[in-house]
Amino acid sequence: MKAVRSLLDKLYTVPQLARFKPVIGAADAILYGTNETTHAAPHVVDNIDIKRYMSLVIVALLPAVAAAFFLFGWRVIAIIMVSYMAGGAVEVIFAIIRKHDIHEGFLITGLIFPLVLPPTTPLWVVAVGVVFGTMFGKEMFGGTGRNIFNPALVGRLFITIAFPAIMTMNWQTPFASGPEAITTATPLTTFKSTAQTSTINPSVVEAGTEQVLFTNAGAVKKATQNPQSEFAGVQVYCMGDAAYEKAAHHRRIEEGKASRLVSYGDLLIGKEPGSMGETCRLAILAGGLLLIGLRVSNWRIPVSYMTTVFIFAAVGSHFLPAKIAPPMFQVLAGGLLFGAMFMATDPITSPFTKAGKYIFGISCGVLTVLIRSFSGYVEGVMFSIVIMNAFTPLIDQMVLMFKYRPVKA
Amino acid sequence: MNISSQLWLAAVTCFAAIFTNNILLMYFLGLCPFTSVSREVKTAFGLGVAVVFVMTCTAMLNWLAFRYILAPLNLEFFRFIMFIIIIAAFVQFVEMVIDRYSPKLYHALGIFLPLITVNCAILGASLFMVIRDYTFIVTVGYGFGSGIGWLLAILAMAGIRQRLAHARIPRGLDGPGITLIIAGLMALAFIGFTGVLG
């Protein structure tokens, strides 16, 4: 250990390496830690520095990473490594040219970014996205703590719009590999592309049609007991006891029909296709609640965000069941949980005032359901968060203006 | 079409003009005042409100001029000159009225009111209204919505730029450079509205 220490101390004094001081400093900080406290934004109202703050977020992300690895295999690790290497290169180049320290913020961006990608994303697309996100989402604004938009989401947005076929057409079924594991539909896509009815009506269900039906266990029971009803090729999202669904599922499989019963429980543990980190909702909940419990992230944004989605979807699906999916499905499908827990709560790009946090969360919720239901895009979480990122400084200034109005004499 | 369905259509067009077809973030019209007057929220708000007012009124006036003067005479090609003259005259007129009756507001708006004459978003809204064949009521909704959309965009930008005042932005990008990058990122996010009531 002493040898490394003295080597690092020597490196600091070599004049030829003066340009690379940020790199040496980062190596020093990683190997030995520092006794420095926070001297750049975001300032935190606690005696922890940004490093500990950021490392807690990484710890909270680990369950989602582990779940992604478990569900989708080694490719997850490759994508994360590409993301760290390509994004890290941008960070190092900017640090050297602009002579600032290498910020720890990148460790989070580099890990969150791969988690919001489909598991089938080609590695070069991962590199393009993370380079764009780090460069235009963060470094252009002066680095960590100064960015207006969430860098990971900026990168994701860019590659979604630049390579729509790659980013929306190929999804991998969890626990499977090979060509047959590739599917074109996430639960949200299925909902958008097929006709829906709000309850299972045995006479309506036609064999071979792809329908998304929302119901509870009782209705499924009734439907499966009806000998006339066919579940072949019908996708059913239902909320109910898992054991019963399993039984119903097996019965149809035994009869040689490709039926698929998907319960909300399946969504919760991540058995449905989706982006790498967003499918296993239990892992996300564990990490997100850890962050909220440790007061690293604030509960106001995720709670107001998800409550708004739930209420808006409940009202909307009552009046427009063919357009707006039911509330439980909206909350559990897609990237809502991940976005609300890890991206909307980013202390730099979300409002710092309490009222501002509620405004941010509620607006995100409304925009998410709006975009999911009516736009050409299937998922609205990333769009809504980036749109609200743009309005964050304005929200804060408005709240401060109304709250601390100068007293009229 | 009856009145209520016209009103409904106008409301839908207004919503679409604010979000889906945001005149600034989707068509990139009115960029010059957007980059130059977005340093402070207060002045950006003043300009934005003036744009909303002028855009709504000139869209209405231009609709009447196009429908009852240019179209009967088969002079549709003349609309560019006609529209810009009407916009300039209207802005001048409004300026004089405000100066006469509310000098305080006149000074608050200052240079922004005459500047609006050359704001291409105003002319753009009038031209879009002709191309898309809107009726009068829908035109009112469209003009108002476009103005509100522009106001929202410039307010967000002004908020961001106030916050960036002390950021370490690369020297070459300070000012219009970073403004255009932010506008690009905002436009990227607004693509999410594609298809909503559009």
State yes or no: pLDDT of B96 exceeds 50.
yes
Same domain, A258 and A343: no
At A143 the pLDDT is: 79
Output the CA torsion A154→A160→A163→A166 (10° steps): 130
Assess if residue B198 is contained within a domain.
Answer: no
The domain total for chain B is: 1
Q: Are residues A73 and A96 in the same domain?
A: yes
Give the one of B160, B194, B195 whose C-beta lies nearest to A148's C-beta.
B160
Residues A335-341, mean pLDDT to the nearest whole number = 91
Q: What is the pLDDT of residue A187?
A: 75
Instruction: Look at residues B18, B196, B16 and name the one whose alpha carbon lies nearest to residue A372.
Output: B196
Q: Read out DSSP for A305-332?
A: HHHHHHHHHHHHHHH-TTTS--HHHHHH
Give tens-digit pLDDT for A123-149.
999 999 999 999 999 888 887 778 899
pLDDT band, very low/low/confident/very high, at A369 (cuts 50, 70, 90): very high
* CB-CB neighbors (< 8 A) of A396 in chain B: 159
- Same structural domain, A234 and A303: no
Asked if pLDDT for residue B191 goes beyond 80, the answer is yes
- Chain A environment of B191 (Cβ under 8 Å): 161, 383
Give yes or no: residues A311 and A366 share one domain.
yes
Mean pLDDT computed over B20-29: 90
Q: Is residue A182 part of a domain?
A: no
Task: Choose among A143, A386, A392: nearest Cβ to B189.
Answer: A386
For A377, the closest chain B residue by CA position comes to B192
- Residues A267, A328, single domain; the answer is no
Percent of chain A with pLDDT over 90: 28
pLDDT number for residue A255: 44
To the nearest whole number, what is the mean pLDDT of chain B? 88
- What are the tens digits of pLDDT across the range B105-150? 778 777 777 878 778 889 999 999 888 888 999 999 999 999 999 9
Distance CA A348, CA A393 (A): 10
Least reliable range by pLDDT among A1-5, B34-38, B98-102:
A1-5
Q: Residue B180 falls within a domain, yes or no?
A: yes
Q: What percentage of chain A has pLDDT greater than the value 70?
A: 71
Say how many CA atoms lie within 13 Å of A110 toward its Cβ: 24
Q: Give how many domains chain A has, as a whole number.
A: 3
Q: Does B172 touch chain A (CB under 8 A)?
A: no
Q: Is B165 part of the contact surface with chain A (CB cutoff 8 Å)?
A: no
Does A281 reside within a domain?
no
pLDDT the model gives residue A268: 82
**pLDDT tens readout for residues A375-385:** 888 888 999 99
Q: Nearest-CA neighbor of A35 among A47, A23, A17?
A: A47
**Domain assignment of residue A279, yes or no:** no
Q: Are residues A145 and A199 in the same domain?
A: no
> How high is the pLDDT of residue A409?
56
- b/e burial code for range A384-409 (CB count within 10 A of at least 16 → b): bbbbbbbbbbbbbbbbeeeeeeeeee
Do the domain assignments include residue B139?
yes
Grade residue B89 by pLDDT with cuts at 50, 70 and 90: very high
C-beta separation of A94 from A143 below 8 A: yes
pLDDT-derived band of residue A22, with 50, 70 and 90 as boundaries? confident
> 3-class DSSP state for residue A239?
strand
Answer yes or no: is A277 within a domain.
no
CA distance A244 to chain B (A): 39
B176 close to A (CB below 8 A): no
A288: in domain: no
Asked if residue B131 belongs to a domain, the reply is: yes
Q: Is residue B196 part of a domain?
A: no
pLDDT digits (tens, 9 = 90+) for A260-307: 566 777 778 887 788 888 888 899 999 999 989 888 888 999 999 999
Residues B57-74 have a mean pLDDT of 91
Decide if A283 is inside a domain.
no
pTM of the entire predicted model:
0.84
Same domain? For A8 and A115 the reply is: yes
pLDDT digits (tens, 9 = 90+) for A60-118: 999 999 998 888 888 899 999 999 999 999 988 988 888 777 777 788 889 999 999 98
CA distances to A68, A141, A265, B169 from B155, rounded to whole Å, are 40, 19, 43, 21
Please tell me the distance from the alpha carbon of residue B68 to that of residue B60, in angstroms, as a whole number. Answer: 12
Q: Is A193's pLDDT higher than 70?
A: no
pLDDT score at A45:
47
How far is Cα A295 from Cα A385, in angstroms, rounded to an integer?
Answer: 21
The percentage of residues in chain B with a pLDDT greater than 90, rounded to a whole number, is 40
Q: Do B169 and A142 touch (CB under 8 A)?
A: yes
Residue A236 reports pLDDT greater than 90: no
- Residue A318 contacts B, CB cutoff 8 Å: no
Chain B partners within 8 Å of A395 (Cβ): 159
Any A CB within 8 A of B185 CB: yes
On whether both A233 and A84 belong to a single domain, the answer is no
Identify the domain containing residue B50 by its residue range. Answer: 8-191
In this complex, do B189 and A157 lie within 8 Å of one another by their Cβ atoms? Answer: yes
Residue B66 domain flag: yes
pLDDT class of A254 with cuts at 50, 70, 90 = very low
Q: Is residue A399 part of a domain?
A: yes
This model of the complex carries an ipTM of 0.90
On the CB side of A402, CA atoms within 13 Å amount to 9
- A142 interface with B at CB cutoff 8 Å: yes
Assess contact for A120 and A171: CB atoms under 8 A. yes
Residue A63 backbone dihedrals phi, psi, to 5 degrees: -55, -40
Residues A80 and A156 reside in one and the same domain: yes
Task: Classify residue A241: in a domain, yes or no.
Answer: yes
Instruction: Looking at the structure, tell me whether residues A249 and A304 fall in a common domain.
Output: no
Do residues A297 and A291 touch, judged by C-beta distance below 8 A? yes
- How many other CB atoms are found less than 10 A from the CB of residue A88? 17
- For residues A252 and A335, membership in a common domain is answered with no
Other residues' Cβ atoms within 10 Å of the Cβ of residue A207 = 12
Interface membership of A158 toward B (CB under 8 Å): yes
Q: Helices (H), strands (E): how many in chain A? A: 18, 6
CA distance A319 to B168: 50
Coil, strand or helix at A261: strand
- The answer as to whether B125 is a domain residue is yes
Contact criterion met (CB below 8 Å) for A261 and A249 = yes
Q: Which domain holds residue A324?
A: 297-409
Interchain CB contact of B72 with A (< 8 Å) = no
Pairing mode, strands A235-239 and A212-216: parallel
Cβ contacts (< 8 Å) between A375 and chain B: which residues? 192-196
Residues of chain A contacting residue B193, judged by C-beta atoms under 8 Å apart:
371, 375, 383
Q: How far is B64 from chain A (nearest CA, A)?
A: 33
For residue A174, the 8-state DSSP code is T
- Ranking A45-49, A108-112, B82-86, B161-165 by mean pLDDT, the lowest is A45-49
Chain B residues 40-59 with CB within 8 Å of chain A: 41
For residue A62 the two structure tokens come to: 């680990």
Q: Give percent of chain B above pLDDT 70.
A: 98
At residue A33, does pLDDT exceed 70? no
Q: Whole-angstrom Cα distance, residue A196 to residue A198? A: 7
**Beta pairing class for A182-183 and A171-172:** antiparallel
Torsion sign across C-alpha atoms B91, B97, B101, B103: positive
Q: Are A167 and A75 part of one and the same domain?
A: yes
Nearest to B94 by CA among B66, B124, B119, B58: B58
For chain B, say whether A366 makes contact (Cβ under 8 Å).
no
DSSP string, B40-66: -HHHHHHHHHHHHHHHHHHHHHHHHHI
Q: Does B168 touch chain A (CB under 8 A)?
A: yes
Of B184, B189, B196, the CB nearest to A375: B196
Which H/E stretch holds residue A215? Answer: strand A212-216
Q: How confident is the model at residue B198 (pLDDT cuts 50, 70, 90)?
A: low
